[in-house]
Structure 1
Amino acid sequence: MRTISKRLLKERAKVDNRLLYDVTNALKLVKATSSAKFNESIEAHISLNLDPKYADQQLRTTVILPHGTGRSIKIAVLSTPDKIDIAKAAGADIVGTDDLVEEISKGILDFDLLIATPEMMPKLAKLGRVLGPKGLMPSPKAGTVSTDLEQTIKDFKRGKLEYRVDKTGIVHISFGKKIFSEDQLSDNLYAFYRSVEKNKPPGVKGKYIKNLAICSTMGPSIFIDLSSLV
């Protein structure tokens, strides 16, 4: 049986699970319950009325968080030789052509995000079993297949984030760090919520968004009154 620490019990006592908090108070509370000895991430978990096994109820897209996520990401770019210098100048951490394909095939995945030009996608087809389970396969929907490498790399470096619904109908993201101000967290949360609303799949029947909770990495869940996000 899992043991709950005294620290977590203390933080849970600050949250009334019978209440739905407005955004302002929820963000104050999530910062107040972030008491671990490291810079915790602040997470959002939004439950949707989706069954992803149906093609018209899938959700996978991107959003640019105004203040980023608070973490730096290592970007790898798979491109044709003529675009290698462009990718490096734009801030890519790893750039390659066939040599990068070879490394990936060996299971060397020393990056957080893989961007590819359309011409290189056929070379990745055989690597689906390596990249797929890690969520690293480039996709036009995710904005990671691009002809404009410079803009794409810069967008992801400054806070562009891919998200997708999991098999239970929930989207999980990190939208900041506990050192962020409440205003920064609010801006990011609103951007994420608006993106989810805007990208409502066509197969949704009835109420789309069930609930939204935020928490810190090691803190309790705080449920938000959705009307305060309108």
Structure 2
Amino acid sequence: MKRGKKHREVYQKVDRFKEYGLLEAVDFLKGNSVVKFDETVEISVMLGVDPRKSDQAVRGAAVLPNGLGKTVRVLAFVQGEKETEAKEAGADYTGGEDIAEKIKSGWLEFDAVVATPDMMRVVGKLGKILGTRGLMPNPKVGTVTMEVGKAVEELKKGKVEFRVDKGAILHAPLGKLSFESNSIIENAKAFFDAVLKAKPSAAKGQYIKKVTLTSTMGQGLKINVNDLK
């Protein structure tokens, strides 16, 4: 891809052999943005696991203390008193069969889905629609639960799910570049802590192999892992 002059100038500033401190990396990205929109800060973690083996699959979720800098529209599949609980917690949409039929008709104006266990009989029929978009509720990440109010609150605050890909890498957003540096750092540490807790017992050897921090249009910077602990 042909890059503009400003992009090339920033590229020349990056030390490819250096492991940057977390604050240093965040400040570099903030000080070298070449676009006019508010970029998203993103983290990538390369793991020492074999994602082809089911007992080494890494999946989980992290609640970012400073949020993502965007409004998250939450849909809750609930009934009875749990619907009231979900609404009071801030759910944007609630329901059951009625919402499911609406989704089958093409409605997808939501960013996250939670459900109580008894409603999975309804949600399960939407697997082909929600699953392909990464929206299917899952008990492993806390989106299938009887504590639906808590689940909704976490998603509204900035809960991110992660799942290792075929290359043994995790990707996640950490908020906006306009955030205070310390806010981004706190989010990064919360995410990294969740990744450490998600280490499968079958994983042997070095678990964290490489961590990279970047922004939507910025350069990727290799991070000193010890700075994240």
The normalised TM-score by structure 1 is 0.94
Task: Output the aligned Cα RMSD.
Answer: 1.4
Instruction: Give, in angstroms, the shift of residue 211 of structure 1.
Output: 0.3
Task: Map Cα deviations across residues 89-111 of structure 1 (whole Å, 9 max, x no partner).
Answer: 22111111111111222332211
Structure 1 position 215, deviation (Å): 0.6
Q: Which runs of 4+ in 1 moved over 6 A?
A: none
Contact 2:78-2:119 within 8 A present in 1 as well: yes
Q: Specify the SS of the correspondent of 1:176.
A: strand
Alignment check: 8 A CA contact 2:40 2:176 kept: yes
Who is 1:95 aligned against? 94
Map of 2:112 onto structure 1: 113
TM-fit CA distance, 1:51: 2.1
Q: Counterpart amino acid of 1:155?
A: E
1:4 deviates by: 1.5
- C-alpha contact 2:96 2:122 (8 A) present in aligned 1: no
- Shift, 1:187, TM fit: 0.9
> Structure 1 regions of 5+ residues with no counterpart?
none
| CA displacement, residues 132-159 of structure 1 (integer Å, 9 cap, x when unaligned) | 1100100001111121222211111112
Residue pairs, 1:4-83, within 5 angstroms = 4-83=3-82
Q: Work out the CA distance in 1 between the residues paired with 2:184 and 2:39.
A: 13
| Distance in 1 of aligned mates of 2:50 and 2:4 | 35
Q: CA–CA distance in 2 between the matches of 1:118 and 1:19?
A: 48
Preserved CA contact (<8 Å) 2:163 2:170: yes
Aligned length: 229
Q: Is 1:192 aligned with 2:191?
A: yes
The percentage of aligned residue pairs carrying the same residue is 38
Once the two structures are superposed, the pairs formed by residues 139-150 of structure 1 within 5 Å of their partners are 139-150=138-149
CA distance in 1, matches of 2:108, 2:50: 31
Task: Could you tell me which runs of 5 or more consecutive residues in structure 2 were left unpaired when the two chains were aligned.
Answer: none
1:201-216 superposed matches below 5 A: 201-216=200-215
8 Å CA contact 2:38, 2:177 repeated in 1: yes
**Cα distance in 2, alignment partners of residues 52 and 122 from structure 1:** 29
1:179 is matched with 178
Q: CA separation in 2, counterparts of 1:140 and 1:34?
A: 38
Q: Provide the C-alpha distance between the structure 1 equivalents of 2:103 and 2:95, rounded to a whole number of angstroms.
A: 11
1:69–1:174 Cα contact (<8 Å) kept: yes
